[in-house]
Homo-oligomer: A and B are copies of this chain.
Amino acid sequence: MSSDILKTLHGDIELPVFMPVGTKGTVKAMPPSVLKELQVKIILGNTYHLYLRPGNELVKKLGGLHKFMGWDGPILTDSGGFQVFSLNELRKLTEDGVEFRSHIDGSKHYLTPELSIQIQDDLGADIKMVLDECPPYGADKNYLERSLALTTRWAKRSKQKWQELGSNGRLFAIVQGGMYPDLRERSLDELLEIGFSSYALGGFSVGEPKNEMYEALSSVMEKVKERKINTPIYMMGVGEPEDILFAVKHGVKMFDCVIPTRNARNGGLYTFNGKVSIKQARYSEDPEPLEPGCDCYTCRNFSKAYLRHLYMSGELLSYYLNTLHNLRFFMRFMDMLRTSIKNNDYDHFYADFLNNYNKDNV
């Protein structure tokens, strides 16, 4: 286990890192200046959404995604694959690429590995992802086998396009293979042979039971260790604090997930004593801050009673204050986690965190 630095063109990132999701050119409800205050170091942008609206060419014309959204820190963009496969029931998959319909207006589009890289290059992402096929949880082994072979061929084409463009920054490939250790290993080895800046684990957090995710994850991370890969492994779409703790223990270094922001908008708030559902009547007269000792603007200035009032009234400030706190929680959590690694105290931190976190989970 180690705590390292990932260098990007927009700044260095201490690892392990959690990346808030800025789907459509904004981390929902958060001005970039606040993200900076919260110590957010890198955010994720969604290729699928930005391609459809406002369009990668427009973003490029306006100086790239950093300038467009007023964020001068690092940005990782996904490949669009996950959205094409999860938001589109009518997609048509071929060797060449995937045809899909826009969820906005039903218009037809065609995504290839090359186009995905082109879009990400137009956006100016610091870290780009190869296009992969994302099979649903429960797909049979035969299907997964063929799928990961396609993902490998697409990864190769992605890299080629990336090289042709002389694209700045880094290109990460995505390991697939479902919950099958042998398929995960094969996927990893095929991608290693092509060679990428680093490797991500796709196909997790797609509905599988936790124990299956944990088993598949630890087995593939065993292979990562055996191959002596020392670039940061990125687990896509994960996750809850307990999942991050488990994954970091097994060597994962990068995470992204919508949960802090999405839960915030639904009144689900993170504290070191467990999650709080702020809509509950028990908070209606509670004069205490959400998390005493938290240094965020929300906790320094407002009571749980006020947060509940805003939520119950459907006030816009509710989204702002809740999102701000949840992101700060994740940043503080990751900071403590990194410190514990530096101090060789990770196992203790892990146990201690879970002990408090699960004590009073409501």
A positions within 8 Å CB-CB of B? 24-26, 28-33, 53-54, 58, 61-63, 68-70, 284-285, 287, 297, 301-303, 305-306, 309-310, 312-313, 315-317, 319-321
Residues of B within 8 A of A58 (CB): 284-285, 305
Q: Let me know if A62 and B30 touch, CB within 8 A.
A: no
> Considering the complex of A and B, which 10 residue pairs feature the smallest CB-CB distances, nearest first?
A29-B316, A70-B301, A26-B317, A54-B309, A24-B313, A316-B319, A26-B315, A28-B316, A62-B287, A70-B302
Q: How far is the CA of A68 from the CA of B287 in the complex (A)?
A: 9
**Complex alpha-carbon distance, A312 and B50, angstroms:** 13
A135–B88 CA distance with the chains assembled, in angstroms: 55
Q: Which of B32, B53, B285, B306 contacts A301 (CB 8 A)?
A: B32
**Given the complex, which residues of B lie within 8 Å of A69, measured CB to CB?**
306
What residue in chain B is nearest A25 (Cβ atoms)? B309
* Chain B residues, Cβ within 8 Å of A310: 25-26
Q: Determine if B309 and A53 form an interchain contact, defined as CB atoms under 8 angstroms apart.
A: yes
A313 and B53 contact, CB distance less than 8 A:
yes
- B68 and A317 form a contact (CB under 8 A): no
Q: B305 near A62 (CB under 8 angstroms)? A: yes
- Which residues of chain B come closer than 8 Å to A68, judged between CB atoms? 303, 305-306, 309
Whole-angstrom CA separation of A54 from B31 in the bound complex = 28
Residue picked from A32, A33, A305, A306, most chain B C-beta under 10 Å: A306
**Residue on B nearest A28 in the bound complex, by CB:** B316
- Distance of A306 Cα from B287 Cα, bound (Å): 39
- Minimum CB–CB distance from A109 to chain B (whole Å) comes to 17
Q: Residue on B with the closest CB to A309?
A: B54
A119 to chain B, nearest CB (A): 16
The 24 sampled A-B contact pairs (Cβ below 8 Å) are: A24-B313, A24-B315, A25-B313, A26-B316, A26-B317, A29-B320, A30-B317, A32-B301, A33-B297, A33-B301, A58-B285, A58-B305, A61-B285, A62-B285, A62-B287, A62-B303, A62-B305, A62-B306, A68-B303, A68-B305, A69-B306, A70-B301, A316-B316, A316-B320
